[in-house]
């Protein structure tokens, strides 16, 4: 029962992250459930932004929304200064915010190809 509650809360957090990214016009939003194949986290949220300014805005909006709803700040962040990839570690949910070239180069979707992909429409997220 506790594990079910934890899983539900982690999925809800991943959805919150995805919705916050969508609010800042992130593209190609993907939620991967990696619970069964990764010890680092339960979910990866992968999104694309089209400038370093947009990446920072997406990251900031995610942090604000997560703090507002869960009173939780990222445990760790990387790449906020001048980067083409920002990583935010919220514990069981890790966010990757990429410029298109970096997302294509690192291709996390292929690396974690055994992960379950959550349909955004079933989570109430409609991409533009």
Is 80 exceeded by the pLDDT of residue 128? no
Does residue 126 sit within a domain?
Answer: no
**30: domain range?**
2-120
Does residue 127 sit within a domain?
Answer: no
22-44 per-position pLDDT tens digit:
999 999 999 999 988 988 899 99
Does residue 36 sit within a domain?
Answer: yes
pLDDT at position 38: 86
What's the pLDDT band for 5 if we cut at 50, 70, 90?
confident
How many independent structural domains does the chain possess?
1
pTM greater than the 0.85 cutoff: yes
Does residue 20 sit within a domain?
Answer: yes
Distance CA 123, CA 117 (A): 12
pLDDT at position 44: 96
Supply the CATH number for residue 44's domain: 3.30.460.10
Does residue 39 sit within a domain?
Answer: yes
Does residue 82 sit within a domain?
Answer: yes
Mean pLDDT to the nearest integer, 7-18:
92
Q: Name the nearest CA neighbour of 97 among 21, 35, 41.
A: 21
The alpha carbon of residue 54 and the mean position of all alpha carbons in its chain are separated, in whole angstroms, by: 15
Distance CA 49, CA 23 (A): 12
Does residue 128 sit within a domain?
Answer: no
63-114 per-position pLDDT tens digit:
999 999 999 999 999 987 778 999 999 999 999 999 999 999 999 999 998 9
What's the pLDDT band for 8 if we cut at 50, 70, 90?
confident
Q: Name the nearest CA neighbour of 29 among 96, 122, 83.
A: 96
Distance CA 86, CA 4 (A): 30
């Amino acid at each position: 029962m506790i594990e079910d509650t934890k899983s539900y809360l982690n999925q809800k957090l991943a959805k919150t992250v995805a919705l916050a990214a969508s609010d800042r016009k992130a593209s190609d939003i993907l939620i991967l459930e990696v619970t069964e194949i990764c010890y680092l986290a339960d979910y990866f949220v992968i999104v694309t932004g089209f400038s370093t300014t947009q990446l920072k805005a997406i990251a900031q909006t995610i942090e604000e929304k997560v703090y507002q709803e869960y009173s939780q700040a990222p445990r760790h962040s990387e790449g906020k200064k001048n980067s083409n990839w920002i990583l935010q570690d919220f514990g069981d949910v890790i966010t990757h915010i990429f410029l298109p070239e970096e997302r294509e180069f690192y291709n996390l979707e292929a690396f974690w190809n055994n992960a379950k992909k959550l349909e955004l429409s079933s989570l109430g997220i409609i991409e533009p």
